[in-house]
Amino acid sequence: MNSNLIWLVALPLIGSAVAAIVVRYKFLDRLITFLTFATTLFVLFSVHVGQSYSWGLNFLGTTLNLTLNVSHLSIFMLYISIAFGTVLTFYSLIDHSRMKGFLLLLILAANNWIFMSNDMVGFFFAWELMGWASVVSVLGGREREKSRHAALYYMIMSVSGSYSMFFGIFTLWRLTGTFSISANIAYLSSIVGIHPWWVLGIVSLFFVTFMIKAGIFPFHTWVPLAYAYSPDAFTPFLSAVMSKYGIYGMLLFMPLSLMERGFPSAFGGVPWTNYIFVWIGVITAVLGTVLAIFQDDVKKLFAYSSLSNLGYVVAAIALFTPVGITAGIFHAFNHLLFKGTLFITLLAVISRSGTSKLSEMGGLWKKMPITFFTFFVGIASAAGIPPFNGFGSKWLIYQAMIKQHLPFATILLFLASTGAFMYLFKAFHSIFLGQLSHDYDRVKEVSAVGKITEFFLMFAMTFFGVQPGYILKPIGAIVKSMGLKPLPVMANGYVTGMFSNIYVPLISWSLAVSFTLGFILFFVSAKHKYVSQENNYTAGQIPEDWGLTPETYQFSWNFYQPVEKLFAPFFRIKIDGFFRGTGDWTKTIGSAIKEIFVGNAQMYAFFAIVGLIIFVIAGWMA
């Protein structure tokens, strides 16, 4: 019995209640949120792997044991989610968007519970709690009406997913009579050889939920809406932390695929169920990338980018090899860090400029240099450029895929990566580079709290990029706990794959030396002078002749128009249309059924009598 575990759930709940009372005073709300996050992080230091806590709930006629259990995976997820939450809430102290701190704390409670729960009742409870709290959090973005629609859409997807899991939980319960997650997974793996289809059916009930939450194809349609129209301060959490719940759930069930005797292998020794999943991940990655390239709303762009990165994660963990799992979890961490950072910098930019349209921004680097550098490091990470943190995991993912001899999936992932570079640069250019519009002449850099956060995030991205061992070691423990052989971690700087090793500090040193040389060369060569932004080469014309303004001289509309032409045939397929069609169809049937209640007493009497007669006749016949 380790009662410190229960505090991880109870503290945020208490904090949430307190924050809800003072929700009128935004700063107090945010302050309590931040303090609760920090305290929870502090409590987390006392939590170790192997601790467990359970309490009885007198329910369903028996005493249900709600169990919290700290595994290697859970403690890893707990650390990264709470730590990021602390940073975010620290930043949100100076933020003015309509994020409600107490809802974030409710999500934190659910977050901790989900990651620790070893019983499906608690898991479901926390899952649903997280679901509705996040839906309500999505309400209140800058564009009210759109945010309302997004919340509704997200809600329906989320609820559908939960009910699917609901069904799965009780099906398992019917079979085993227990709600314990570990016992049920053990049961499933014991029968997977005998009844593979059964196991597949039950597990897919869960996986639908996880895929919806992580936004994996074909359930990705809510992601851009919810990300784009949620309050700006909530989006980082949504993207960085909440998308990982689905990944966590998948990882819980992944050890099942060890039982290869259940399913014949597809290519490369991957069971074909996993093989399909690898492709789902790859499709998600490519789809997210391609769609991201054409977005004008920057939050939508990064929403699709999240989608794409989670596709990478899914593809990697679906392999269920040591490298694959390591790479997947590593990438999940890296995505949390860099995407969280990117959304936090976007929060800064949007709060200063008041718009999230790429075509309305530009040239902000002169006004917000620290945010600019943070964003730069963020996109460098996201593009997988060494020595920043996104590199190691992307590199490992390729290793994992090639190890299983899946060249086509790897090629597509590589395409997604190159595409990622395109949309990242588009966002980078349209926000920070190019011409600064005169509308933004009075834009200021974020205040001190924001600067501290940004420096910290830059440091973190570089640190974990150069010293990936600090993350790879705990991941190794996770891999070991799943019954696989972990990758060797030679030193903190090494990333070891199957095909080759890289030693990131070496890259950093080489970069450091070469940059020094570059700077020396730059400063020993002839002097330069700075000119104004309108002072450009215009083929002999004088800008005044053209009536040149910064807006007209900023290239940010139809950025990748040739690519758009290239992909035009694919845009006709609309997954979203399918869901909306189902919705409309339901609505139509609903209106038709409503006509039963015609509002006429005779008709109702008639119904009752007809019902009775049908009863009687049916009784006669049967």
CA angle (326, 329, 331) in 5-degree steps: 100
Q: How far is the CB of 408 from other proteins (least distance, A)?
A: 7
Convert residues 329-348 into a mask of x (bound to other proteins by CB under 8 A) and - (unbound).
--------------------
Q: Work out how close the CB of 61 gets to other proteins at its nearest, in angstroms, rounded to a whole number.
A: 6
Contact 122, 19 (CB under 8 A): no
| Site size toward other proteins, by CB under 8 A | 143
The answer to the question of residue 526 lying near other proteins (CB under 8 A) is yes
Q: Which is nearer to other proteins, 147 or 274 (CB)?
A: 147
Residues 544-563 that bind other proteins (CB under 8 A): 550, 553-555, 559-560, 562-563
Which residue lies nearer to other proteins by CB, 100 or 352? 100
User: How far is it, in rounded angstroms, from Cα 505 to Cα 466?
Assistant: 6
User: How many angstroms separate the CA atoms of 590 and 604, rounded?
Assistant: 19
Q: Out of 45, 61, 448, 569, which residue is the one contacting other proteins (CB under 8 A)?
A: 61
296 sits near other proteins (criterion: CB under 8 A) = no
**Nearest distance from residue 364's CB to other proteins, in Å?**
11
Type of residue at 602: Q
Cα–Cα distance for residue pair 99/486, rounded to 1 Å: 40
42 versus 567: smaller Cβ distance to other proteins: 567
**Residue 126 in contact with other proteins, rule: CB under 8 A:** yes
**441, 529, 544, 569: which one binds other proteins (CB under 8 A):** 529
Phi-psi region of 437 (alpha: psi -120 to 50; beta: other; left: phi over 0): beta
Quick one: which of 241, 380, 478, 484 contacts other proteins (CB under 8 A)?
Answer: 380
Q: Interaction with other proteins in 567-606: which residues (CB under 8 A)?
A: 583, 586-587, 589-591, 593-594, 596-597, 599-605
Min CB(480)–other proteins separation in Å:
24
Asked if 530 touches other proteins (CB under 8 A), the answer is yes
> Judged by CB under 8 A, does residue 391 bind other proteins?
yes
User: What are the tokens at 228?
Assistant: 């784009």
Closest by alpha carbon to 349, among 301, 421, 309, 383? 301
Decide: 58 and 65 in contact? Cβ < 8 Å.
no
Q: Which of 414, 459, 546, 585 binds other proteins (CB under 8 A)?
A: 414
**Out of 52, 171, 178, 359, the residue judged to bind other proteins by CB under 8 A:** 171
**Most distant CA atoms of the chain, gap in Å:** 105
* 22 near other proteins, judged by CB under 8 A: no
Touching other proteins, residues 187-206 (CB under 8 A): none
With CB under 8 A as the contact rule, which of the stretches 270-278, 323-331, 347-355, 528-536 interacts with other proteins? 528-536
Cβ pair 14, 85 in contact under 8 A: no
Residue 567, number of CB atoms within 10 A of its CB: 13
> Distance between CA 334 and CA 317 in Å, rounded?
15
Please say whether the beta carbons of 384 and 417 come within 8 A.
yes
Q: Is 128 in the site for other proteins (CB under 8 A)?
A: yes
207/391 with CB nearer other proteins: 391
Hey, which residues between 206 and 265 contact other proteins (CB under 8 A)? none
One of 193, 518, 543, 577 touching other proteins (CB under 8 A): 518
Interface mask toward other proteins for 429-468; x: CB under 8 A? x--xxxx---------------------------------
Contact indicator for 51, 67 with CB cutoff of 8 Å: no
Per-residue binder mask for other proteins (CB under 8 A), 264-283, x = binder:
---x----------------
Q: How far apart are CA 53 and CA 122, in angstroms?
A: 12
Buried b (16+ CB within 10 A) or exposed e, 58-81: eeeeeebbbbbbbbbbbbbbbbbb
Minimum distance of other proteins from residue 73's CB (angstroms): 23
| Residue among 399 and 453 whose Cβ is closer to other proteins | 399
Interacting span for other proteins (CB under 8 A) from 194-202, 214-222, 352-360, 515-523:
515-523
* Binding flag, residue 55, other proteins (CB under 8 A): no
Q: Are the CB atoms for 187 and 175 separated by under 8 Å?
A: yes
> Which residue type does 83 have?
A
Site for other proteins in 134-153 (CB under 8 A): 135-136, 139-140, 144-145, 147-148, 151-152
**Which amino acid does the sequence have at 312?**
Y
Q: How far apart are CA 400 and CA 326, in angstroms?
A: 9
Whichever of 46 and 501 has its CB closer to other proteins, that residue is 501
Find the shortest distance in angstroms from Cβ 5 to other proteins.
19
Left if phi > 0, otherwise alpha if psi is -120 to 50, otherwise beta: which for 180? beta
- Give the DSSP H/E element, type plus range, for residue 66: strand 62-69
CA-closest candidate to residue 236, choices 359, 97, 376, 55? 97
Q: Are 79 and 44 in contact, with CB atoms under 8 Å apart?
A: yes
Q: Which of 81, 326, 389, 410 binds other proteins (CB under 8 A)?
A: 410
Q: Which of 1, 441, 522, 542 binds other proteins (CB under 8 A)?
A: 522
Our CB check for other proteins shows the closer of 177 and 577 to be 177
491 binds other proteins (CB under 8 A): no
Task: Choose one: 277-285, 320-328, 457-465, 516-524; the region binding other proteins (CB under 8 A).
Answer: 516-524
Which amino acid does the sequence have at 113? W
Cβ at position 560, least distance to other proteins in Å: 6
Say if strands 494-496 and 62-69 run parallel, antiparallel, or are unpaired.
unpaired
The region of 36-44, 302-310, 371-379, 569-577 touching other proteins under the rule CB under 8 A is 371-379
> Which member of 55, 198, 421, 456 binds other proteins (CB under 8 A)?
421
298/426 Cα distance (integer angstroms): 10
Window of 37-45, 219-227, 340-348, 382-390 that interacts with other proteins by CB under 8 A = 382-390
Sign of the C-alpha dihedral computed for residues 542, 546, 549 and 553 taken in this order: negative
* C-beta neighbour count of 443 within 10 angstroms: 18
Residue 542 found at the interface with other proteins (CB under 8 A): no
Phi and psi of 65, rounded to 5°?
-90, 115
Nearer Cβ to other proteins, position 255 or 497? 497
525 lines the binding site for other proteins (CB under 8 A): yes
483 or 590: CB nearest other proteins: 590
Cα(374)–Cα(140) distance, rounded to whole angstroms?
27
537 contacts: CB under 8 Å, gap ≥ 6? none
CA distance 61 to 295: 53
